Chain A
Amino acid sequence: MNPDELPLLELFNRLREHGLPLGVEEYMTVLRALRAGFGVGDHRALEQLCCTVWVKSEEEARLFHRLFEQMLAQSVARPREPALPETPQPPPETPVAPSAEAPASETAQPVSPPTAPIAPPGLTLEMDEPAQVVQAVRRSARDDLEMGHPRFSLLTEYFPVTRRQMKQSWRHLRRPVREGPPEELDVRATIEKIGREGILLELVLVPRRSNRAELVLLIDQDGSMVPFHTLSRQLVETARRGGRLGRAGVYYFHDYPDSYLYRDPARLKAQSIPEALAAIGERAAVLIVSDAGAARGNFDPERLEQTRAFVQQLKQSVRRYAWLNPMPNTRWPGTTAGEIARLVPMFEMSRRGLDAAISALQGRYVYWEKMYPWMM
């Protein structure tokens, strides 16, 4: 098995196209390991070497193994084409690899002598490789731009906001309160105490700060929101785990809250709106997640009226609220969403939009009344 015959670079670029976070350095690492004698036994060994260096999770591993199989199938198929049925393993012929024996003598010199005998004679992918990789990496990046479509990815993160970004954004929602046992050093108070008493006798400890910010998500479920279910689920999950919030509650509704809010996505456990609002409490920040009719793109006067009525109720019992719309703002004008955006601070679901919504929930003033050009 000669690794030189394998289009490793092609495999590497395919992985990059699928969104794996890989750079030139990762490619060079595999070459360096190959030169040192790792992964040169057979296909399996090479596959495992590349997998260890390039793959970072189980999902990626599945993708990798599939691509590797494809690559192998191609590279096995190709040498047979030149109509030489006699021997499939002659190393000097290497029809696929452009860098054959000639550059070997030049490139072998800079490599330190002790490692040279280990590397098989055909393994001459050193020197000119970095330039090739850089070029290839650049080229594939440019292709993406020119084609004008975003890279698609088989991995889980293809939303406008990734889980990690969601968590980071939730962190901005803060209401720090000191509670619990005193275990953190209060430097200022300790210094004051030393100043007063002339000597350090005892430290002043205070409880740790913990976040008491309360968040309630009101999520529009089913109908036009079906494509966004995963997205809303991610919002809920990240808010509950890793958002470091004091409390993260969820209520569901369909299109607009009509007399009841529901505690479960299937909308079976109902709670009347006044009751739910009382449970939410005035301290909590309420974030409504709904396309507000922008997904279907029509104007529904009834939906607007009902939403207006609900927002009135909401305003009376909650101080901070905002609306997150999974549709981009350019799709709002002319639909119910365009009108609702004049009633409630509404933001689109993007990193900036989410941060702006959270700023609004923090009680900061966000210029939302005429935020988008079409609102003028």
Chain B
Amino acid sequence: MANLATSHTYTGEVQPKPEEYGKDGLYPYLPSKELVEAVNLTIFLEKRPLLIKGDPGSGKTRLAQAVAYELDLPYEPWYIKSTGRARDGLYTYDAVRRLHDAQLAHLDESRRSRVDDPWNYIHLGPLGRAFQKEQRTVVLIDEIDKADIDFPNDLLLELDEQRFFIEETGEEIKAHEPPIVFITSNDEKELPDAFLRRCLFIYIEFPSPSQLVAIVNAHFPGSSPGLVEAAVDRFLELRQQMEQEKGKAGKKVSTSELLDWFAVLRRHPEDEVLAELKGQLPFPEVLLKSWEDHLRYLQASNAKRET
């Protein structure tokens, strides 16, 4: 990537070491070429967040941390809840605590000095902290569609101009370095046009079979190649079957479920599992999440046995 304007370039090739797995949710992440390109564009353009969509379990949330790890930048996740307000990501002001302290101020000298400074009661949120850091910070705004429909619009000024006001003190917080913002959405609510216009967008496609094998190998280094291949093949077969029956829109087994499933498979003796993979689906409870899926699977496998 010929890009001199910024010193940060994501390659997707630097992975955490096996002993770091699971620490703060850190796992290997193998992005597609398109995804790497989109991430670098986000880093370069500075003011445009990257909106990531894709099937559940396709690795939308994990990307931000993988980028932070490779570029060795601070990471601030912001998990949105249905009751969340846009301001919570910037800062919260604990008025009750201050009132409480003010009550007791005449009894206690240290408390009095505390009360005088409103900053003692202001807690910066993920985006607020990212603005204050001297380094560029990777910010993840996870599942923005969970919040109210006007939530994204409330963030426009902050993302566009990279600054916000703390109303309680009248201070302006300006970003030292523009944060690298990733936003994930599950499409539960549609996002407003004004917000979308400012975003870059990428849809994470389901990985190819060879990518899947690479992903499994990265997560479970030292697994036997035969087992990985057999498991991925069986998994793809199931996925294809689901696609045929439910169409493109239904919930299908995802990459994250494959990893869970493989974690179970590798705990058992290899020859046993290999034999099982040829017949009935072993440990179906990891992959089939609804009763209909289960029934459909049973019907299909019965039909297969009869022929």
Question: Which A residues lie at the B interface, using CB under 8 A?
Answer: 21-23, 26, 29, 32-33, 36-39, 45, 48-49, 51-53, 55-58, 61, 114-115, 118, 163-164, 167-168, 185, 199-200, 203, 242
Q: Are A38 and B3 in contact (CB under 8 A)?
A: yes
Q: Which residues of B contact A164 (CB under 8 A)?
A: 149, 190, 192
Which of B36-44, B67-75, B171-179 lies at the interface with chain A? B36-44
Given A33-B41, A52-B38: A58 and B96 interface contact (C-beta under 8 Å): no
Task: Among B45, B96, B190, point to the contact of A163 (Cβ < 8 A).
Answer: B190
User: Other than the known A21-B194, A53-B48, A115-B5, what 9 A-B pairs have Cβ atoms closer than 8 Å?
Assistant: A21-B196, A33-B45, A36-B5, A38-B40, A52-B38, A53-B41, A53-B200, A118-B3, A200-B99
Given A26-B197, A52-B202, A185-B96: A199 and B4 interface contact (C-beta under 8 Å): no
Q: Report Cα–Cα, A115/B196, bound state, in Å.
A: 29
Q: Report Cα–Cα, A57/B1, bound state, in Å.
A: 26
Q: Which residues of A contact B200 (CB under 8 A)?
A: 52-53
Task: Among B5, B149, B197, B199, point to the contact of A168 (Cβ < 8 A).
Answer: B149
Q: Report Cα–Cα, A52/B37, bound state, in Å.
A: 9
Q: Report Cα–Cα, A53/B2, bound state, in Å.
A: 19
Q: Are B41 and A38 in contact (CB under 8 A)?
A: yes
List the 5 closest pairs (A to B, CB-CB), nearest first.
A37-B2, A21-B193, A56-B196, A200-B103, A56-B201
Question: Which B residues lie at the A interface, using CB under 8 A?
Answer: 1-5, 34, 37-38, 40-41, 44-45, 48, 51, 53, 96, 99-100, 103, 149, 189-190, 192-194, 196-197, 199-203
Q: Report Cα–Cα, A200/B193, bound state, in Å.
A: 46
Closest Cβ neighbor of B189 among chain A residues: A242
Q: Which residues of A contact B34 (CB under 8 A)?
A: 48
Q: Are A36 and B196 in contact (CB under 8 A)?
A: no
Q: Report Cα–Cα, A163/B38, bound state, in Å.
A: 29
Task: Among A36, A163, A168, point to the contact of B3 (Cβ < 8 A).
Answer: A36
Q: Which residues of B contact A52 (CB under 8 A)?
A: 37-38, 41, 200-202
A176 to nearest B CB, angstroms?
16
Q: Are B37 and A38 in contact (CB under 8 A)?
A: yes
Closest Cβ neighbor of B34 among chain A residues: A48
26 A-B pairs whose Cβ atoms sit less than 8 Å apart in the complex:
A21-B193, A21-B196, A21-B197, A22-B197, A26-B197, A33-B41, A36-B3, A36-B4, A38-B44, A39-B37, A45-B37, A49-B37, A51-B201, A53-B48, A56-B51, A56-B197, A56-B199, A114-B4, A118-B2, A163-B190, A164-B190, A164-B192, A168-B149, A185-B96, A200-B103, A242-B189
Closest Cβ neighbor of B5 among chain A residues: A36
A90 to nearest B CB, angstroms?
23
Q: Are A242 and B38 in contact (CB under 8 A)?
A: no
Q: Report Cα–Cα, A164/B196, bound state, in Å.
A: 14
Q: Which residues of A contact B99 (CB under 8 A)?
A: 200
B51 to nearest A CB, angstroms?
7
B35 to nearest A CB, angstroms?
10
Q: Are A242 and B149 in contact (CB under 8 A)?
A: yes
Q: Are A48 and B37 in contact (CB under 8 A)?
A: yes
Q: Which residues of A contact B192 (CB under 8 A)?
A: 164
B152 to nearest A CB, angstroms?
11
Closest Cβ neighbor of A167 among chain B residues: B149
B203 to nearest A CB, angstroms?
6
Task: Among A32, A55, A118, point to the contact of B45 (Cβ < 8 A).
Answer: A32
B69 to nearest A CB, angstroms?
22
Q: Which residues of A contact B100 (CB under 8 A)?
A: 200
Q: Which residues of A contact B3 (CB under 8 A)?
A: 36-38, 118
B171 to nearest A CB, angstroms?
24
A133 to nearest B CB, angstroms?
15
Q: Which residues of A contact B202 (CB under 8 A)?
A: 52
Q: Report Cα–Cα, A56/B40, bound state, in Å.
A: 18
Q: Are B37 and A199 in contact (CB under 8 A)?
A: no
Q: Report Cα–Cα, A51/B203, bound state, in Å.
A: 10
Q: Which residues of A contact B2 (CB under 8 A)?
A: 37, 118
Q: Report Cα–Cα, A49/B36, bound state, in Å.
A: 12
Given A22-B197, A168-B149: A58 and B45 interface contact (C-beta under 8 Å): no
Q: Report Cα–Cα, A338/B172, bound state, in Å.
A: 58
Q: Which residues of B contact A199 (CB under 8 A)?
A: 103
Q: Which residues of A contact B44 (CB under 8 A)?
A: 33, 36, 38
